[in-house]
Amino acid sequence: MTTTALQAEKTTGAKLIDGKAVALKMRATQRARVEALQAKGITPGLAVVLVGDDPASAIYVSRKVKACEAVGIKSVSYRHPTTITNEELLVLIGKLNADPNIHGILVQLPLPAHIDMAKVLETIAPEKDVDGFHLYNVGALVVGRQIFPPCTPYGVMHLLEYSDIPVEGRNVVVVGASNIVGKPMALMLMARDATVAICHAKTRDLGQWTILADILVVAAGVPNLIVPQMVKTDAVVIDVGINRLPDGRIVGDVDFEGVRKKASYITPVPGGVGPMTIAMLLENTIQSAERQASGEPA
Ligand code: GUN
């Protein structure tokens, strides 16, 4: 078949992967798990720590807090001005580590430049590290154990599974090599026997890589980075980017209108991966409380 014929045949465009709907669907089960814990006298507790006045972080944190309420997780917010010192932040984390009513601790990133982020993340007790950023949990992921999978890539894995998209043996290209998304994403996909390549800001001729992808995961934070000619026909395209344009619109990293005509599946922004990040945070927090209830070590 010629390329033109193929394109003519693809009149319907990609199926949308509706992360918002999947996240809402998950809530019923999550609520039931919280109720089961409450029947044993345990209310899952999540501490959310926000430092500084980054407006995007404030929005993400308030969404996380609201989602906790919706399933019965008790969230406790700690908002601190940028003037907080490393020591003060570490003391707060120490207190939360010791508090039996707190099952999960989340420190919203990015942190102000004077804060030693690595030290902060390493101070969080690994068994309460629901973001999965502690070295112990990162190491677990490297060797194929998932104790607290980082929420965004965990959400992507869940969306792929929910949409019956097989991963084993497929070429997956991850664009973005951050500790929060790209690297754990690649590890989770490798654990499921995908063939994974990671591209990043220094990758030369990005399109030569992305065109090979059966599944393309983009987490670069660059609007319109991925255009149709960089995408293989019928690829699955997962857009993790959340970018605010000067006109106020929120868009991902993918030229959605162009790429949807070529892909088999695509996630929208907003309403794709974003809601799943929050859903998986709830999942990890409930899991943490369940582990504590059963006396199981992390
Ligand atoms: N900033 C951007 N994504 C995340 C995340 O998943 N967790 C935290 N703590 N901060 C973030």
- Which tens digits make up the pLDDT trace of 216-235? 999 999 999 999 999 999 99
Query: Same structural domain for residues 168 and 262?
Result: yes
> For 168, which DSSP code?
T
- Which tens digits make up the pLDDT trace of 61-94? 999 999 999 999 999 999 999 999 999 999 999 9
Query: Same structural domain for residues 78 and 191?
Result: no
Give the active site residue among 64, 183, 232, 262: 64
Query: Same structural domain for residues 111 and 157?
Result: no
Query: Same structural domain for residues 255 and 172?
Result: yes
Query: Same structural domain for residues 50 and 112?
Result: yes
Which residue, of 83, 110, 125, is where some domain finishes? 125
Burial 88-99 (b: 16+ CB within 10 A, else e): ebbebbeebbee
Q: Which domain holds residue 117?
A: 41-125
Task: Give a yes or no: residue 132 inside a domain.
Answer: no
pLDDT surpassing 70 at residue 256: yes
Query: Same structural domain for residues 190 and 256?
Result: yes
- Which tens digits make up the pLDDT trace of 118-150? 999 999 999 999 999 999 999 999 999 999 999
* Active site annotation includes 64: yes
State the pLDDT at residue 298: 60
The Cα–Cα gap between 151 and 44 comes to 17
The token pair that represents 22 in the structure block: 């999947």
Query: Same structural domain for residues 112 and 167?
Result: no
Task: Give a yes or no: residue 110 inside a domain.
Answer: yes
Residue ID of nearest Cα to ligand 1 atom 8:
108
The Cα–Cα gap between 298 and 288 comes to 8
State the pLDDT at residue 12: 73
| Count of the separate structural domains present in the chain | 2
Residue ID of nearest Cα to ligand 1 atom 2:
109
Task: Give a yes or no: residue 286 inside a domain.
Answer: no
Query: Same structural domain for residues 185 and 89?
Result: no
Q: pLDDT-based confidence at 249, cuts 50/70/90?
A: very high
Residue whose C-alpha is closest to residue 48's, from 37, 57, 56, 39: 57
Give the active site residue among 18, 30, 108, 232: 108
Query: Cα(180) to centroid of ligand 1, in Å?
Result: 7
Query: Same structural domain for residues 233 and 185?
Result: yes
pTM of the model: 0.95
284 in contact with ligand 1, CB cutoff 6 A: no
Query: Cα(45) to centroid of ligand 1, in Å?
Result: 18
131 in contact with ligand 1, CB cutoff 6 A: yes
Sequence-distant (6+) residues with CB within 8 A of 291 are 127, 297, 298
Phi, psi of 174 (to 5 degrees): -105, 125
Assign 128 to helix, strand or coil: helix
Phi, psi of 67 (to 5 degrees): -65, -40
- Which tens digits make up the pLDDT trace of 168-195? 999 999 999 999 999 999 999 999 999 9
Give me the CATH number covering residue 77: 3.40.50.10860
Task: Give a yes or no: residue 279 inside a domain.
Answer: no
Task: Give a yes or no: residue 146 inside a domain.
Answer: no
User: Which of 75, 93, 107, 108 has most ligand 1 atoms within 8 Å of CB, for mutation?
Assistant: 108
